[in-house]
Amino acid sequence: MNRLMATRRLVVLLAVTLLGCACSSAERSKETPASSSSARTGRIRGVVRLEGNPPARGVEPITQDQATCGTSVSLPRLALGKSNGVQHAFVYLDGVESGQEFRPRESVLVDQNKCQYVPHALVVPTGTKLEITNSDPILHNVHGQQAGEDGLQTLFNIAQPVRGQRTPVDQALTKPGIVLLSCEAGHPWMNAYVFVANHPYVAVTADDGEFVIADVPAGTYRIKMWHEGVTLKRNLKTLQRYEYEDPYEITQEVVVQPGVDAVVNFDLSLRPAT
């Protein structure tokens, strides 16, 4: 009888031990992906701020389609949030040839609303197609241009005379870089920027100027801030286009460590007015 009870105790003890090992193994298997991911990547965060006082805002009169566009437009092209945080700036890792997969999206919508492009700045993977809609009851055109060896090269130029018209752009955006969208149908202040990226390590600054680039493999990188030119140089009336100063670009070095936030801030200093 004692031998039988001892045997039963041994069986129960072995079962409890095996169950505990199985649970422990399951818990470890749940933790492994997260811990292995954080062991290989880190995060970059920071803020882009305007250094000094904001420039005085110039105003250009609007002489066409005033019922939709208004009677004047405020310049220059600089949107600020709290503590002079700069909105609509691109921050990206420069010179990165590969990384996590960044698949093209089927299409990305850009709207023309009250004589402005919405959104003003966006990031898309290479191979993505744009889709343009016109929410205004007036004629707009969308002229897409990208910098090349001989200056700006036209990618597409689409007219949209009908409110509610929605036009897919046949040509995908296949070349990495920044594409300028403009309207030459009497609305020269209209502009937007599309960052075409071949890797996911790109961000657009938020309303407070902050940005985050997540899941960056550990290593040392060049990180760049890009913001469109702010000051209007010329109004090219015959071309129905405004010409602005050159864009602003700032480059720093950043070291990304596994599981750690690397903080990089950019101070945007505007060129003196001439």
In this prediction, residue 38 carries a pLDDT of 54
Note whether residue 186 is domain-resident.
Answer: no
Note whether residue 190 is domain-resident.
Answer: no
**CA–CA gap between residue 174 and residue 194 (Å, rounded):** 12
Is residue 86 domain-shared with residue 218, that is, in the same domain? yes
Q: What is the pTM of this model?
A: 0.83
Average pLDDT for 161-177:
95
**CA–CA gap between residue 168 and residue 127 (Å, rounded):** 14
Residues 6+ apart with CB under 8 A from 152: 145, 146, 180
48: left (phi over 0), alpha (psi -120 to 50) or beta: beta
Note whether residue 193 is domain-resident.
Answer: no
Q: Which of 201, 222, 217 lies closest to 90, judged by CA?
A: 201
Q: Which of 137, 90, 91 lies closest to 113, judged by CA?
A: 137
Is residue 215 domain-shared with residue 92, that is, in the same domain? yes
Distance set, CA 262 to CA 96, 198, 218, 259 (Å): 17, 22, 11, 10
Query: Residue 75 belongs to a domain with what CATH number?
Result: 2.60.40.10
Is residue 270 domain-shared with residue 233, that is, in the same domain? yes
In this prediction, residue 192 carries a pLDDT of 96
In this prediction, residue 39 carries a pLDDT of 64
Beta carbons of 100 and 199 less than 8 angstroms apart: yes
Does residue 87 or residue 36 have the better pLDDT? 87
Note whether residue 187 is domain-resident.
Answer: no
In this prediction, residue 103 carries a pLDDT of 79
Most confident of the ranges 30-34, 56-60, 261-265: 261-265
Q: Reduced to 3 states, what is the DSSP secondary structure of residue 212?
A: strand
Q: Does pLDDT of 21 surpass 80?
A: no
Note whether residue 2 is domain-resident.
Answer: yes
User: What pLDDT band is residue 10 in, cutting at 50, 70 and 90?
Assistant: very low
In this prediction, residue 110 carries a pLDDT of 96
Q: Does pLDDT of 15 surpass 50?
A: no
Is residue 50 domain-shared with residue 158, that is, in the same domain? no
Q: Does pLDDT of 2 surpass 90?
A: no
Note whether residue 79 is domain-resident.
Answer: yes
Query: Residue 131 belongs to a domain with what CATH number?
Result: 2.60.40.420
Q: What is the pLDDT of residues 241-274, one digit of tens each?
A: 899 999 999 999 999 999 999 999 999 999 987 7
Average pLDDT for 19-40:
43
Note whether residue 258 is domain-resident.
Answer: yes
Domain that holds residue 11: 1-39
- Report the percentage of the chain scoring pLDDT > 70: 84
Beta carbons of 190 and 144 less than 8 angstroms apart: no
Name the average pLDDT for the chain: 86
Is residue 204 domain-shared with residue 238, that is, in the same domain? yes
Is residue 95 domain-shared with residue 118, that is, in the same domain? no
Is residue 213 domain-shared with residue 253, that is, in the same domain? yes
Is residue 96 domain-shared with residue 205, that is, in the same domain? yes
Is residue 177 domain-shared with residue 242, that is, in the same domain? no
32: left (phi over 0), alpha (psi -120 to 50) or beta: alpha
Q: Does pLDDT of 178 surpass 60?
A: yes
**CA–CA gap between residue 21 and residue 6 (Å, rounded):** 23
Total domain count, the chain: 3
Is residue 95 domain-shared with residue 129, that is, in the same domain? no
Q: What is the pLDDT of residues 111-162, one digit of tens each?
A: 999 999 999 999 999 999 999 999 999 999 999 999 887 888 999 999 999 9
In this prediction, residue 182 carries a pLDDT of 95
Q: Does pLDDT of 176 surpass 50?
A: yes
Is residue 76 domain-shared with residue 207, that is, in the same domain? yes
Q: What is the pLDDT of residues 69-123, one digit of tens each?
A: 999 998 878 999 999 999 999 999 999 876 677 877 778 999 999 999 999 999 9
Is residue 90 domain-shared with residue 208, that is, in the same domain? yes
In this prediction, residue 57 carries a pLDDT of 81
Q: Reduced to 3 states, what is the DSSP secondary structure of residue 219?
A: strand
In this prediction, residue 124 carries a pLDDT of 96
Does residue 206 or residue 148 have the better pLDDT? 206
